[in-house]
């Protein structure tokens, strides 16, 4: 019966370990598509179109905005960034699990568009103190950026109840097992249209 794909949304503070968890379970997820952003900014050295971002012209981006082809978009430092619906729909049609790593606002946008096939997980550290430790341990951000990430994390944590699942990433192995279990269950979600069709067929 199940022919279409499903969506798995992962949100949580920067430093919570979302990327590490995805990497840990990727080989066991089956066929999946990791949603990447579309941008109008120039491609940097070493970046690959369709892997790091989808690089498009400003005209193409604006046309897609008019045609409502974005789940969400924003202008950052004069360049457009957004999540295009087109590759998501293609992946779903191919029966893949579409994985999003997006913020709380993005989660709402995805749910508004694909509520019946979306499963959402909030991932965070055991405490704010631990998050701050991880952000500093990375050694990649300036103090101002770290403080911004901490402020953002405090706001995001207040919205955990908007998610169906909640993973505290204290032990990577344990958190990865939980993520994989939820991802497998997410694949079993049936779109409302297919449920309605089944009921009609079942009654005849």
H runs (alpha helix) in the chain = 18-25, 58-66, 85-93, 104-114, 128-138, 143-157, 172-186, 192-203
Is residue 169 within 8 Å of 16, Cβ to Cβ?
Answer: yes
Q: Which CATH class is domain 1-31+97-204?
A: alpha beta
Helix axes 172-186, 18-25, angle to 10 degrees: 70
DSSP-based three-state secondary structure for 67: coil
Rounded-to-integer distance, Cα 132 and Cα 149, Å: 9
Side by side, the strands of the sheet bearing 79-84 are 54-55, 38-39, 79-84, 70-76
Closest CA to 15 of 121, 107, 147: 147
Residue 3 pLDDT: 58
Q: Kindly list the domain boundaries of the chain, sorted by start residue.
A: 1-31+97-204, 36-94
Residue 78 pLDDT: 85
Rounded-to-integer distance, Cα 67 and Cα 70, Å: 8
Find all residues with CB under 8 Å of 51, minimum gap 6, and list them. 36
Find all residues with CB under 8 Å of 12, minimum gap 6, and list them. 18, 122, 123, 124, 156
Closest CA to 186 of 61, 32, 23: 32
Residue 106 pLDDT: 87
Is residue 154 within 8 Å of 127, Cβ to Cβ?
Answer: no
CA-based diameter of the chain, in Å?
A: 65
Residue 1 pLDDT: 53
CATH architecture of 36-94: 2-Layer Sandwich (3.30)
Per-residue pLDDT of the chain (204 residues; tens, 9 = 90+): 555 799 999 999 989 999 899 999 999 999 999 999 899 999 888 889 988 899 999 999 999 999 999 988 888 778 999 999 989 999 999 999 999 988 888 899 899 999 999 999 999 999 999 999 999 887 777 888 899 889 999 999 999 999 999 999 999 999 999 999 999 999 999 888 889 999 999 998
How many other CB atoms sit within 10 Å of the CB of residue 77? Answer: 6
Residue 50 pLDDT: 87
Residue 116 pLDDT: 92
Q: Beta partners for 7?
A: 98, 118
């Amino acid at each position: 019966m199940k022919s279409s794909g499903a969506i798995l949304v992962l949100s949580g503070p920067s430093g919570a370990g979302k990327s590490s968890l995805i990497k840990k379970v990727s080989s066991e997820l089956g066929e999946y598509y990791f949603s990447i952003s579309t941008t109008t900014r120039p491609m940097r050295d070493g970046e690959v179109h369709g892997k790091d971002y989808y690089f498009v012209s400003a005209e193409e981006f604006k046309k897609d905005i008019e045609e409502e082809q974005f789940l969400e978009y924003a202008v950052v430092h004069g360049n457009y960034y957004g999540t295009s619906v087109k590759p998501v729909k293609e992946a779903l049609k191919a029966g893949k699990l579409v994985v999003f790593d997006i913020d709380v606002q993005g989660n709402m946008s995805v749910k508004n568009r694909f509520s019946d096939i979306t499963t959402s997980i909030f991932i965070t550290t055991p405490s704010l103190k631990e998050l701050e430790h991880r952000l500093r341990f990375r050694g990649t951000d300036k103090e101002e950026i770290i403080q911004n990430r901490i402020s953002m994390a405090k706001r995001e944590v207040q919205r955990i109840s908007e998610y169906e699942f909640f993973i505290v990433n204290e032990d990577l192995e344990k958190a990865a097992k939980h993520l994989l279990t939820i991802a497998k269950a997410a694949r079993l979600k049936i779109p409302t249209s297919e449920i309605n069709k089944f009921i009609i067929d079942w009654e005849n």
